[in-house]
């Protein structure tokens, strides 16, 4: 198989294995909560598939790691050992290690690290303690040598079982340079040959400083179908090798680097798995489209005005099919949010154990679908919110008891559609936001002068300000200096918003509102001179027309205007983007008050043209990245309008102010 071909399969293997790891994790968590023994089989099967795939697709380290985990599971499955907390704990950590290995495989980095070596050791130790007979297994893990001699004699039936020595030796070649000598001594006469039987044997020298287990992992699936011996090549033979024999080493490194390069390249091209019914419905729509087109085609040959209604009907159909097809194609990018939610049972379990809190996790709306890109980026902000909720929101059992609540706190994750948006809520029934502490901190930081007259929403909003953290004690969970401002920035990068509602002693609800897709945005079209700009609707607070005296100029040339009790900077789009023929006097134009990156600014434009849905075209892909612009779209008249990147503009303004 070519490298490109293998890389393609590796990609699929990695994606499937990550799903397998999710299955292992959720089953382990279910076991932890007293699930039935069938779960052990599920976990074993997932591990077994990963091991087999890893060996096949050139990840021997992963295969050997999974082999250890699988052996332990096998003991549980076979009744030799009862499943208990320490085993579940260790298996969960093994799942983490494997996830790390897959990440490193995607990045083209060495798969093993100190953690995986440690966990592998623990797996072996756990089996070794109760199974002293296996204390000295044939495979000496970690045994290392500069070069190896491998004697590989497949049993006659190996080929028939689908295992091909050609593939195994190719895989071995992935570890380093090979000198392969075939043993033909067992070949029968041609007339007596059964082509499905293997009579060849091999003596292989592997010139690479790898570990024995890395080699053994290649043969993992055929260990019962061959005679195999792996011995370090005597150093006496290796050491006298002067310059010529040493020469292959750089080549090996180059080979390995090339192989990693392929993996890296494959990691960049992410893919999406699509349910077959979505594809069927699309094919169906394309069929309809073709029929309509054929119908319209008849008008080309002969047009009789009496058939005008038919033409109109055809065009209406065409428009409907095009829209349905568009929705259908967009639907391909939509995936259930379950893939993000699924990581939380584990997180909640680990955190609550660590903090001595009791937490019940309630998941709702897992089947709500989100754009794949949004889905990939919403995970981190949600993890932050969940950590915060457990760390700061939910109280320890004693406090809850004292407050008359159930000892076990509830953390609820919910996802649902509202309007054209997806709403994700993270709510807890904990202590709620501490208004006094927030106000005190905000005053300390100079964010506000005093808390008097501030609404609860305004106080809640303070926690999203950069650098704001009220954790009384800095734990290693939250309070690392990156706080809610990062959550807000991540969410606003996705074109969404996040707000908090909180009631003392009753808990908090963080509501993330996200666009359905990043491919189409709702925006207001604003005119600036001859140009048109699209301002994303989600960032707009309101638009105002200023009186001439409402504008204040401050030292350094900045302009400010007063908006609901606070002074906001004015950003003149015609200056920022160099538009000619734009209005310059403040009372002639309009200020669109927008919020991005946690700050509000007023964008000065000539006026508003209208509201429209804009199909986002990447500026980066078609031209180059432009600061303050997130993309472009094509207007109905065929002209190009740039989409304003509010957060980018705010940051740009901040930098100019600082400069």
Partner 1 sequence: MGKKKPEHDRQPETVEIGLPVDCRMAAQAALLSDLLGALDAPATQLDGRAVERVDTAALQLLTLFRREALSRGRAVSWLGASTTLCEAADTLGLVQALDLPVAAAA
List interacting residues with partner 1 (CB under 8 A).
Answer: 159, 164-166, 169-170, 173, 180-182, 184, 187-191, 193, 195-196, 198-200, 202
Sheet with 531-536: strands ordered across: 607-615, 520-528, 531-536, 640-644, 629-634
163: left (phi over 0), alpha (psi -120 to 50) or beta: beta
Short-list 323, 427, 413, 428, CA closest to 368: 413
Give least dist CB 14 to partner 1, A: 25
**Which C-beta is closer to partner 1: that of 112 or that of 262?**
262
Sheet with 559-563: strands ordered across: 540-544, 590-596, 599-605, 566-572, 559-563, 551-553
**Which C-beta is closer to partner 1: that of 165 or that of 515?**
165
Give least dist CB 377 to partner 1, A: 42
Give least dist CB 235 to partner 1, A: 24
Cα–Cα distance for residue pair 173/148, rounded to 1 Å: 12
**Which C-beta is closer to partner 1: that of 182 or that of 482?**
182
- C-alpha distances (whole Å) from 516 to each of 39, 171, 424, 495, 521 are 36, 44, 12, 10, 9
| Joined tokens for residue 373 | 């890109």
Give least dist CB 200 to partner 1, A: 5
Give least dist CB 478 to partner 1, A: 54
Give least dist CB 228 to partner 1, A: 16
Short-list 605, 601, 528, 588, CA closest to 559: 601
Give least dist CB 257 to partner 1, A: 19
Q: Is 211 helix (H, G, I), strand (E, B) or coil?
A: strand
**Which C-beta is closer to partner 1: that of 32 or that of 171?**
171
**Which C-beta is closer to partner 1: that of 162 or that of 309?**
162
Please check whether residue 194 is in contact with residue 127, taking contact to mean a CB–CB distance below 8 angstroms.
Answer: no
**Which C-beta is closer to partner 1: that of 192 or that of 449?**
192
| Joined tokens for residue 315 | 């065009």
Please check whether residue 89 is in contact with residue 72, taking contact to mean a CB–CB distance below 8 angstroms.
Answer: no
Give least dist CB 196 to partner 1, A: 6
Please check whether residue 68 is in contact with residue 126, taking contact to mean a CB–CB distance below 8 angstroms.
Answer: no
- The set of residues, in sequence order, having a beta carbon less than 8 Å from that of 195 and lying 6+ positions away, is none
| Joined tokens for residue 137 | 């297994």
Give least dist CB 165 to partner 1, A: 5
Give least dist CB 178 to partner 1, A: 8
Please check whether residue 379 is in contact with residue 330, taking contact to mean a CB–CB distance below 8 angstroms.
Answer: no
Please check whether residue 21 is in contact with residue 95, taking contact to mean a CB–CB distance below 8 angstroms.
Answer: yes
Q: Is 422 exposed, middle or buried (0-12, 13-18, 19+ CB in 10 A)?
A: buried
**Which C-beta is closer to partner 1: that of 195 or that of 556?**
195
Please check whether residue 348 is in contact with residue 410, taking contact to mean a CB–CB distance below 8 angstroms.
Answer: no
**Which C-beta is closer to partner 1: that of 174 or that of 336?**
174
**Which C-beta is closer to partner 1: that of 201 or that of 536?**
201
**Which C-beta is closer to partner 1: that of 201 or that of 479?**
201
């Amino acid at each position: 198989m070519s490298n490109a071909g293998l890389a393609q399969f590796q990609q699929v293997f990695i994606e499937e294995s990550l799903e397998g790891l999710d299955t292992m994790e959720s089953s382990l968590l279910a076991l932890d909560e007293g699930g039935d023994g069938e779960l052990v089989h599920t976990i074993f099967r997932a591990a077994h598939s990963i091991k087999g795939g890893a060996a096949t697709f050139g990840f021997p380290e992963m295969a050997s790691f999974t082999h250890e985990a699988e052996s332990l599971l096998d003991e549980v499955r076979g009744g030799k050992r009862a499943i208990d907390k320490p085993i579940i704990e260790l298996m969960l950590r093994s799942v983490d290690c494997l996830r790390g290995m897959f990440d490193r495989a995607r990045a083209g980095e060495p798969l093993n690290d100190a953690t995986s070596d440690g966990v592998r050791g623990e797996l072996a130790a756990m089996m070794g303690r109760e199974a002293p007979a296996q204390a000295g297994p044939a495979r000496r893990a970690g045994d290392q040598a500069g070069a190896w001699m491998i004697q590989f004699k497949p049993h006659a039936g190996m080929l028939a079982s689908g295992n091909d020595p050609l593939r195994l030796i190719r895989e071995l070649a992935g570890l380093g340079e090979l000198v392969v000598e075939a043993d033909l001594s067992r070949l029968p006469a041609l007339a007596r040959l059964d082509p499905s039987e293997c009579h060849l044997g091999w003596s292989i020298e592997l010139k690479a400083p790898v570990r024995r287990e890395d080699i053994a992992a290649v043969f993992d699936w055929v260990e019962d179908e061959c005679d195999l011996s792996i011995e370090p090549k005597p150093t006496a033979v290796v050491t006298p090798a002067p310059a010529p024999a040493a020469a292959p080493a750089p080549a090996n490194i180059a080979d390995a680097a090339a192989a990693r390069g392929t993996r890296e390249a494959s990691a960049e091209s992410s893919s999406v798995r699509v349910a077959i019914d979505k594809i069927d419905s699309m094919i169906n729509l394309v069929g309809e489209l073709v029929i309509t087109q054929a119908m319209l085609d008849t008008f080309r040959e002969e047009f009789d005005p009496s058939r005008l209604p038919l033409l109109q009907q055809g065009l209406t159909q065409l428009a409907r099919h095009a829209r349905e097809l568009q929705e259908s194609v967009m639907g391909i990018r939509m995936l259930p949010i379950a893939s993000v939610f699924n990581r939380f049972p584990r997180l909640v379990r680990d955190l609550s154990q660590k903090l001595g809190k009791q937490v019940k996790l309630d998941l709702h709306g897992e089947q709500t679908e989100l754009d794949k890109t949004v889905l990939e980026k919403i995970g981190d902000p949600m993890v932050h919110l969940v950590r915060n909720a457990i760390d700061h929101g939910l109280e320890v059992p004693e406090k809850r008891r004292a407050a008359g609540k159930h000892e076990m706190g509830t953390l609820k994750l919910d996802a649902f559609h509202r309007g054209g948006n997806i709403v994700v809520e993270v709510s807890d029934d904990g202590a709620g936001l501490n208004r006094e502490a927030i106000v005190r901190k905000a005053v300390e930081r100079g964010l506000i002068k005093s808390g008097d007259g501030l609404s609860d929403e305004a106080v809640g909003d303070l926690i999203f300000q950069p650098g704001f953290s009220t954790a009384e004690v800095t734990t290693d969970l939250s309070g690392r200096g990156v706080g809610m401002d990062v959550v807000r920035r991540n969410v606003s990068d996705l074109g969404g918003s996040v707000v908090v509602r909180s009631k003392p002693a009753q808990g908090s609800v963080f509501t993330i509102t996200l666009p359905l897709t990043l491919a189409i945005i709702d925006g207001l079209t604003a005119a600036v001179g001859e140009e048109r700009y699209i301002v994303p609707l989600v960032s707009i607070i309101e638009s105002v027309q200023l009186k001439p005296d409402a504008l204040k100029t401050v030292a350094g040339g900045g302009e400010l205007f007063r908006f609901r009790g606070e002074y906001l900077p004015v950003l003149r789009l015609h200056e920022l983007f160099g538009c000619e023929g734009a209005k310059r006097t403040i009372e002639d134009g309009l200020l669109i008050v927008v919020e991005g990156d946690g700050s509000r600014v007023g964008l000065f434009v000539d006026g508003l043209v209208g509201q429209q849905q804009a199909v986002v075209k990447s500026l980066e892909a078609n031209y180059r990245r432009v600061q303050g612009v997130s993309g472009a779209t094509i207007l109905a008249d065929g002209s190009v309008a740039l989409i304003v990147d509010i957060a980018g503009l705010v940051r740009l303004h901040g930098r100019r102010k600082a400069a």
